[in-house]
A and B are shown apart, each in its own frame.
Chain A
Amino acid sequence: MHRIKLKINGKGFEHEVDSRLLLIHYLREKARLTGTHVGCDTGNCGACTIIFNGKAVKSCMILAVQANGAELTTIEGIAQNGFHPIQESFMDKFAVQCGYCTPGMIMSAHALLLENPDPNETEIREAIEGNLCMCTGYQQIVEAISHAAKKIGRSEKK
């Protein structure tokens, strides 16, 4: 067992964890943040995507002990009150069906827009290539991310 200390969504967490515990299971079962999902166990589907020290990562590919000292953002943390513009855009553009991929998808989009505030369609598609959505066929998700980028751009200009 190992003691880990980390920050999730700006709040401090401290737990004793088994060395083999995956970060996704730590988030869901110890920190009780269940917005991050498990869809494949092999790093292919992206449902478990979170922001780890500023980068989008798949939390099923990381051990909880590796997150010791890290700063994480999960879907619960990108807009503590109300909705983030990406969340608003996903609703406006019908980018959600069953919702299971949605948090991971939004986190990948969030990481993209932090690095590239004005992505073109190809850049958006590349940024979410590691996130599988079985419902939408991606088109409305791509539209939503593009819409969000414009919305954020407009509000920053003001």
Chain B
Amino acid sequence: MLKLDEILVTRNWVGKPVRRKEDIRLVKGEAAYVDDLNMDCYQAAILRSPYAHARISRIDLTKAGALKGVVAVLTGQEVARETKPISARAITRPATQYVMAADKVRYVGEPVAAVVAEDRYIAEDALDLIEVEYEPLKPVVTIEDALKPDAPLVFEEAGSNVLMHDKMQHGDIEQAYREADLTLKEKFKVHRYSSTPLEPWAIIANYERASDSFVVWSNDQQHGRSLTNVCNTLGIPIHKLRLIVPDIGGGFGIKLALWPYIVILSLLAKKVSKPVKWIQTRREHLLAGSHAPDANVEIELALKKDGRILGLRITDIQNDGSFVHTAGIYGLIKFATMVGCYGIKATRAELLSIVTNKAPTVQNRGVGKPTMIFALERMVDIAAKRLGLDPSEIRLRNFVKPDQMPHTTPSGEIYESGDYPECLRKALRLVGYEESKKKRDDGRKTGKYIGIGISSGVEPGTSNLGYYYTARGLPEYTGNAEGAIVGIDYDGNVNVILGSVDSGQGHATTTAQVVADMLGISPERVSTANTMDSLISPFLGHSGVYSNKFNDVDLGAVIMATKKVRDKMLKIASHMLGASVAELKLKDGKVCLAKNEEKSVSFREIASLAYKRILLLPEGVEPGLKEIAYYKNPIAKLPNREDFNIQLTHSNSVHVVVVEVDVETGTVNFLRYVIVHDCGNQINPGIVEGMVIGSTVHGIGASLLEEFVYNEEGQLLSTTFMDYLKPTAIGVPKFELGHMESACPYTLLGTKAVGEGGSLPSLAAIANAVEDALSPFGVKVTSLPITPEKVLRAVRETKEI
């Protein structure tokens, strides 16, 4: 691996809060999200099932098709004839589902027909004219419903509503239980929620009749995989579909699997003579976009009396709703870092993916790790209470110590660096732990219910993708990688084309910082394309913005491509200056002699040879100054159930929260919110800070406000932002941040994951604080969200939230 000194020739930009290059367009309203593209389009609207589980006995689009302004219609039967079923990734039982329901609907909001019209108003009018007759079936809504022996089957061909069931054991769990002084067991329930990017899903599809091919514009977060999925489903070769991803208005994982709608739009586009646009409404997004699955987690700790945790066992049952493509993937991601920041030596995990008549699930920010950390960190607090230890003390006794790094967990995950005890101690110093405890205790005497909650968490990054398939044999994807093209323009400035896309992370800025320090220039001279185009961009099946992989493999590709360009420039400069490459250095946009800086050639002069005066190039050097590179994470192992690293970098953080619970209204108010995190070396601290705070606010929403509430018929009751409540500027605390930087030895710049971080420990930190605040009432928190109604009921009657 290249060393930092071999990569960076200056240290002027990396690590500094450089102003974001993206923002000049964004603050002026000049961004180009899909819906902003200036094209003459027809507009599509989608008819969705009003039933959770029903057979479609008749569908008639005659009246809809006859409405003035309607130009095309599409039904599920036609889709089933024209396309292949949705491919599955993790489930092991057969389950056939098409991108539009043909004979049976499996969730409220599942597409059953689509209409294309001159504008969206007419298309929506036409939906009202579609006649569908349904034969309602008994819906399967909860995990408990799905597991009943006589439960109706969501997919008859599966023969069960359990589509994946995996068991894994690592380390000597029997010995752990033999040596334990006590075991503690608890069941936790985590609800359905979503990070709801503000820009909904958006697609424009155009069919070019002469070449029998498609051009699609979409805010797809994982275009590498989507391109394959769409083309396979449509049964066309990949070169027949050009996918373009312009600006994306937030993703958080929720835009990782919108590709079934690209299939629908492509089919619609083929029927008409103009591009067809579909912009998902917010109601569609909440009803039938993607949720994080609700889950039941049973967790058991085997402990010594002094608080040391010897063994950890979980049974994780996730309600994946009805979407075979992503069903089952949460369990394995939870499992990856199930021991959290602790040096637990033995684990057993039983993982189930349940299919129900709820909406699809997809990788929402944190992907199961918020649930896992919630269960584990709640359990650690329960153990502390039982053993009479301070919640901070039990954690310090169990954390992996800095001198044990790199630490390999029982299943083979490698925690590469970090000082977990100091991270906690720093957070306790920031919050003023002893004073906070005194304030809490004093408050109780005067009827103020203040609580302190601590939670730690590992934030993994860069998915080693093959792990999805541990239960299915040969993986379609393994490892993780990204591509990049770096070129020097004629005039000596730099342009970068990434294989990935940006959904708010500031990739153009961080890329420019790194390239600038690699070439000894200012980031002003580096421009990064903010559009991904499958015809031009150097993408792979892994490409996209997910699993915090940018700082690892995306920048890795940029670095390797920049190095190739730099090497070539040095070679040309060496020829021009009549000196050996070893005698040269880069400075201020020039290549000069290290010993005599006045003897130099500018990038512009070098580029002039490369692009124009090519006959002056040294022998054997190709014209042009543009290089492509692909970079893969160097430590990824092939999936192996005995020893596998599911994630390839590991950041860590501690949240310490002080809340006051109003027992008259049931509301939870933040008094303090302290975060100390360690994401390795930071490239742009201004961007990191925003990601840490933003993702923590996702956790606050999940803990206190947001919930997809279903009734027993499988109807979603929270389908707008009036009843699905998001955090606003009022009600979120002012965050106090502390940073640590333990460089990662396995990434080129020593960086690790940042982005999901805050959304992981926040759930447990808040729940622990609420339980502490309500300890005079003996209330235990085993579920989320902590709504005022649940608080009041717990205080007055049930003693349990």
- Which A residues lie at the B interface, using CB under 8 A? 18, 20-21, 28, 32-42, 44-45, 47, 74-76, 79, 83, 87, 90-92, 94-103, 106, 121, 124-126, 128-142
Contact A94-B17, Cβ < 8 Å, known A136-B694, A140-B689: yes
State whether A98 touches B197 (Cβ < 8 A).
yes
State whether A90 touches B27 (Cβ < 8 A).
yes
- Which B residues lie at the A interface, using CB under 8 A? 17, 19-20, 22-31, 33, 35-36, 38, 121, 195-200, 247-252, 279, 281-283, 503-506, 686-687, 689-691, 693-698, 720-722, 726-730, 732, 734-735, 758
Q: Which residue of A lies closest to B25 (CB)?
A: A99
Expressed in whole angstroms, the Cα–Cα distance for A74 and B730 within the complex equals 25
In addition to A20-B121, A87-B27, A98-B249, 13 A-B residue pairs with Cβ atoms within 8 Å of each other are A18-B121, A35-B29, A44-B721, A74-B29, A99-B22, A101-B198, A106-B27, A125-B729, A126-B729, A133-B198, A134-B197, A136-B693, A137-B694
B247 partner residues in chain A, CB cutoff 8 A: 98-99
How distant is A65 from chain B, measured CB to nearest CB, in Å? Answer: 14
State whether B693 touches A98 (Cβ < 8 A).
no
State whether B28 touches A76 (Cβ < 8 A).
yes
A142 partner residues in chain B, CB cutoff 8 A: 729
Jot down 13 A-B pairs with beta carbons below 8 A, ordered by A. A35-B28, A39-B199, A39-B200, A99-B22, A99-B25, A99-B27, A106-B27, A128-B729, A129-B729, A134-B197, A137-B727, A138-B697, A140-B689
How distant is A106 from chain B, measured CB to nearest CB, in Å? Answer: 7
How distant is A45 from chain B, measured CB to nearest CB, in Å? Answer: 6
State whether B252 touches A96 (Cβ < 8 A).
no
Expressed in whole angstroms, the Cα–Cα distance for A32 and B27 within the complex equals 17
A35 partner residues in chain B, CB cutoff 8 A: 28-31
Expressed in whole angstroms, the Cα–Cα distance for A43 and B721 within the complex equals 9
State whether A34 touches B29 (Cβ < 8 A).
yes
How distant is B256 from chain A, measured CB to nearest CB, in Å? Answer: 15
State whether A99 touches B31 (Cβ < 8 A).
yes
A133 partner residues in chain B, CB cutoff 8 A: 198, 694
Expressed in whole angstroms, the Cα–Cα distance for A39 and B24 within the complex equals 21
B722 partner residues in chain A, CB cutoff 8 A: 42, 44
Contact A99-B26, Cβ < 8 Å, known A44-B720, A134-B198, A136-B690: yes
Expressed in whole angstroms, the Cα–Cα distance for A33 and B25 within the complex equals 14
Contact A137-B249, Cβ < 8 Å, known A98-B503, A132-B726: no
State whether A45 touches B198 (Cβ < 8 A).
yes
Expressed in whole angstroms, the Cα–Cα distance for A42 and B724 within the complex equals 12
How distant is B715 from chain A, measured CB to nearest CB, in Å? Answer: 18
B695 partner residues in chain A, CB cutoff 8 A: 137
State whether B732 touches A98 (Cβ < 8 A).
no
How distant is A117 from chain B, measured CB to nearest CB, in Å? Answer: 19
Expressed in whole angstroms, the Cα–Cα distance for A115 and B505 within the complex equals 33
Q: Which of A41, A83, A140 has the most CB of B within 10 A?
A: A41
**Quick one: which of B281, B504, B729 contacts A98, CB cutoff 8 A?**
B504
**Quick one: which of A34, A102, A124 contacts B26, CB cutoff 8 A?**
A102
Expressed in whole angstroms, the Cα–Cα distance for A96 and B503 within the complex equals 11
**Quick one: which of B20, B36, B720, B730 contacts A94, CB cutoff 8 A?**
B20
How distant is A43 from chain B, measured CB to nearest CB, in Å? Answer: 9
Shortest 5 CB-CB distances between A and B: which pairs? A35-B29, A99-B26, A100-B249, A98-B504, A75-B29
How distant is B509 from chain A, measured CB to nearest CB, in Å? Answer: 10
Expressed in whole angstroms, the Cα–Cα distance for A99 and B250 within the complex equals 8
**Quick one: which of B29, B503, B697 contacts A36, CB cutoff 8 A?**
B29
State whether A97 touches B729 (Cβ < 8 A).
no
How distant is B726 from chain A, measured CB to nearest CB, in Å? Answer: 5
Q: Which of A36, A79, A138 has the most CB of B within 10 A?
A: A138
State whether B249 touches A42 (Cβ < 8 A).
no
State whether A98 touches B29 (Cβ < 8 A).
no
How distant is A134 from chain B, measured CB to nearest CB, in Å? Answer: 5
State whether A41 touches B281 (Cβ < 8 A).
yes
How distant is A130 from chain B, measured CB to nearest CB, in Å? Answer: 8
Q: Which residue of B lies closest to A79 (CB)?
A: B28
Q: Which of A34, A83, A98, A128 has the most CB of B within 10 A?
A: A98
How distant is A55 from chain B, measured CB to nearest CB, in Å? Answer: 19
Q: Which residue of A lies closest to B693 (CB)?
A: A137
Q: Which of A75, A76, A83, A97 has the most CB of B within 10 A?
A: A97
**Quick one: which of A20, A38, A91 contacts B279, CB cutoff 8 A?**
A38
State whether A94 touches B249 (Cβ < 8 A).
no
Q: Which of B35, B199, B252, B695 has the most CB of A within 10 A?
A: B199
Contact A140-B693, Cβ < 8 Å, known A45-B721, A87-B28, A91-B27: yes
Expressed in whole angstroms, the Cα–Cα distance for A91 and B19 within the complex equals 7
A90 partner residues in chain B, CB cutoff 8 A: 23, 27
Expressed in whole angstroms, the Cα–Cα distance for A62 and B10 within the complex equals 54
Q: Which residue of B lies closest to A35 (CB)?
A: B29
Expressed in whole angstroms, the Cα–Cα distance for A103 and B694 within the complex equals 18
State whether B19 touches A134 (Cβ < 8 A).
no
**Quick one: which of B25, B27, B720, B727 contacts A40, CB cutoff 8 A?**
B720
State whether B38 touches A96 (Cβ < 8 A).
no
State whether B282 touches A42 (Cβ < 8 A).
yes
Expressed in whole angstroms, the Cα–Cα distance for A92 and B24 within the complex equals 11
**Quick one: which of A38, A42, A45 contacts B35, CB cutoff 8 A?**
A38
Expressed in whole angstroms, the Cα–Cα distance for A47 and B199 within the complex equals 9
How distant is B524 from chain A, measured CB to nearest CB, in Å? Answer: 14
B200 partner residues in chain A, CB cutoff 8 A: 39
Expressed in whole angstroms, the Cα–Cα distance for A132 and B25 within the complex equals 20
State whether B690 touches A91 (Cβ < 8 A).
no
State whether A96 touches B279 (Cβ < 8 A).
no
Contact A138-B250, Cβ < 8 Å, known A96-B20, A133-B198: no
How distant is B193 from chain A, measured CB to nearest CB, in Å? Answer: 12
State whether A91 touches B721 (Cβ < 8 A).
no
State whether B726 touches A134 (Cβ < 8 A).
yes
Contact A100-B199, Cβ < 8 Å, known A137-B697, A140-B693: yes
Q: Which residue of B lies closest to A140 (CB)?
A: B690
State whether A102 touches B27 (Cβ < 8 A).
yes
State whether A139 touches B720 (Cβ < 8 A).
no
How distant is A131 from chain B, measured CB to nearest CB, in Å? Answer: 8
Expressed in whole angstroms, the Cα–Cα distance for A61 and B27 within the complex equals 23
Contact A47-B198, Cβ < 8 Å, known A41-B282, A97-B505, A137-B693: yes
State whether B252 touches A94 (Cβ < 8 A).
no
A87 partner residues in chain B, CB cutoff 8 A: 27-28
State whether B690 touches A97 (Cβ < 8 A).
yes
**Quick one: which of B23, B283, B691, B758 contacts A99, CB cutoff 8 A?**
B23
State whether B198 touches A94 (Cβ < 8 A).
no
Q: Which residue of B lies closest to A127 (CB)?
A: B729
Q: Which residue of A lies closest to B758 (CB)?
A: A137
State whether B690 touches A135 (Cβ < 8 A).
yes
A95 partner residues in chain B, CB cutoff 8 A: 690
Q: Which of B31, B33, B279, B720 has the most CB of A within 10 A?
A: B31
Expressed in whole angstroms, the Cα–Cα distance for A90 and B25 within the complex equals 12
**Quick one: which of A91, A132, A135 contacts B20, CB cutoff 8 A?**
A91
Q: Which residue of A lies closest to B701 (CB)?
A: A134
State whether B283 touches A41 (Cβ < 8 A).
yes
Expressed in whole angstroms, the Cα–Cα distance for A41 and B280 within the complex equals 11
A18 partner residues in chain B, CB cutoff 8 A: 121
State whether A76 touches B29 (Cβ < 8 A).
yes
Contact A94-B30, Cβ < 8 Å, known A39-B198, A100-B198: no
How distant is B766 from chain A, measured CB to nearest CB, in Å? Answer: 14
B252 partner residues in chain A, CB cutoff 8 A: 134
How distant is B614 from chain A, measured CB to nearest CB, in Å? Answer: 41
Expressed in whole angstroms, the Cα–Cα distance for A137 and B700 within the complex equals 10
State whether B197 touches A92 (Cβ < 8 A).
no
State whether A135 touches B694 (Cβ < 8 A).
yes
Q: Which residue of B lies closest to A102 (CB)?
A: B26
How distant is A61 from chain B, measured CB to nearest CB, in Å? Answer: 13
State whether A103 touches B730 (Cβ < 8 A).
no
Expressed in whole angstroms, the Cα–Cα distance for A97 and B27 within the complex equals 11
**Quick one: which of A42, A79, A91, A134 contacts B250, CB cutoff 8 A?**
A134
How distant is A112 from chain B, measured CB to nearest CB, in Å? Answer: 12
State whether A96 touches B720 (Cβ < 8 A).
no
State whether B28 touches A91 (Cβ < 8 A).
no
